[in-house]
Amino acid sequence: MSITSKSPIAVAKAAYKVALSTLPDYSHRFSPQKFTQPQLFVCLTLKTFFKTDYRGIVSYLRDLSDLRRAFHLTVVPHYTTLQKAAKRLLAVKSADRLLEATVATLCEDKRVALAAIDSTGLEAGHTSRYFVQRKRSKDSQTVENTMYRRFPKLAVVCDCFNHMVLSMFTARGPSVDINQFRRTLKPAADKVRIQYLLADAGYDSEANHQYARDVHQIRTTIPARGGRPTTKLPKTKYRREMRTDFDKETYGQRWQVETVFSMIKRNQGDALRTRSYWAQNREMMLKVLTHNIGIILFVKELFYRASRTPFFR
C-alpha cells in the first residue's frame, strides 16, 4: 500500500511547485499583492495536512520559520485571508486544474492501465462516539442511536497502481451512485487514457457500460446485480457479458479505491470542519489535492531509492 509524506516542509514544497505551474501569481492586477496565490494554496494544503482550522494554521506558520521559508512566505496571512482564498482557489474549475497538474506529474504518458471508481461518505461534524451511541439511562439496556440524514459524499476515480486520484465529484448523500458515474468519470477520461475501469454493483447500468466503452473506449467490469434477483441472463449486451465472462481476477483489484478512501480519512480525518454545502465541497476537494501531493512525494522517493539500489549482490 502506498504511503503519503509525513514531512510538512516536503508537502509545502511539492504543493508550491504544483501551484506555480497552474495558478497565476495574483488574482487581479489591482490586488494588494501581499501574498501570491501559490503561497495561499500552500497554506490551505498545510491546513489539511495538520488537521487544523484557519486560525490553527496561522499559528503553525508563525511558529515554524523553516516551514515558511519552504515556499518563500515572509508575512503570515490573516486567517480571514485564507478563508477568502479558499473560495477562490478551490472553485470547481480552479480545483480541477490543480488536480490535473498533480496527475500530470506522475502520468507523463497520460495512460492508466487499471482504474477504479467508488464513493464514500464523510462526517459532517465532530460528535463523539459516546454521544452518538449511548444508553438512555444507567439501568436501561436500550441503546439510543443518532443517525445523520444528510452527509457529505465524495466520489473518485483512482489509479490502482499508485493510488493517485484522477478525478473527483462532490455531492450530498445519501444518494445513488449510478447517476454519478458519468460526472465522476468524464474529468478523468479527459485527462488520461484509461484502459480498464472497475466499479461495484452500485454503478451497474447498461448506459454506464456504453458511456465508458463507446465514448471513451474504456473496458469496464461492473457486477450485473441491479434489479430484481433472477436466474435469467440480462438482455442487454454488456450486462450479459458481465454474467457470462466476468473477470474475477482483475475485479479483485477494486479494493484499491477503498484503500484511497482509507488513506484520506486516516491521514486527514474523516470529519469536515465546515458547515455549509459549498464549503464542505471545497474542503473535500482540498483533501483530495493534499492526498495527491503526498502520493507524488512517495512515488518520487520510491524511484529515488530504486535508482540507488545496486543490480548485483
Cα dist. 252→27, 33, 78, 146, 160 in Å? 46, 51, 48, 34, 11
Q: Is the dihedral of CA 126, 165, 1, 48 positive or negative?
A: negative
Sequence-ordered strand ranges (E) for the chain: 111-112, 115-121, 133-135, 143-145, 151-159, 165-173, 193-194, 196-199, 219-221
For residue 310, what pLDDT is reported? 38
Question: How far from chain centre, in Å, is Cα 151?
Answer: 16
| Partners of 117 in beta bridges | 157, 199
Q: How many angstroms separate the CA atoms of 146 and 182, rounded?
A: 33
For residue 90, what pLDDT is reported? 93
Q: Which three cell numbers stand for residue 129?
A: 462516539
Domain boundaries, the chain: 8-89, 109-277
Strand-strand pairing, 196-199 and 219-221: parallel
User: Hey, which CATH number is domain 109-277, 3.40.1350, 3.30.1360, 1.10.4160, 3.30.420?
Assistant: 3.30.420
Ramachandran angles phi, psi of 196, nearest 5° = -140, 135
Residue-level pLDDT, tens digit, the chain, 313 residues: 557 778 999 999 999 999 999 999 998 888 888 999 999 999 999 999 999 999 999 999 999 999 999 999 999 999 999 999 999 999 989 999 999 999 998 887 889 999 999 999 998 876 665 555 554 445 556 555 555 568 899 999 999 999 999 999 999 988 999 999 999 999 999 999 999 999 999 999 999 999 999 999 999 999 998 777 777 888 899 999 999 989 999 999 999 999 999 999 999 998 898 889 999 999 999 999 999 999 988 776 554 444 444 333 2
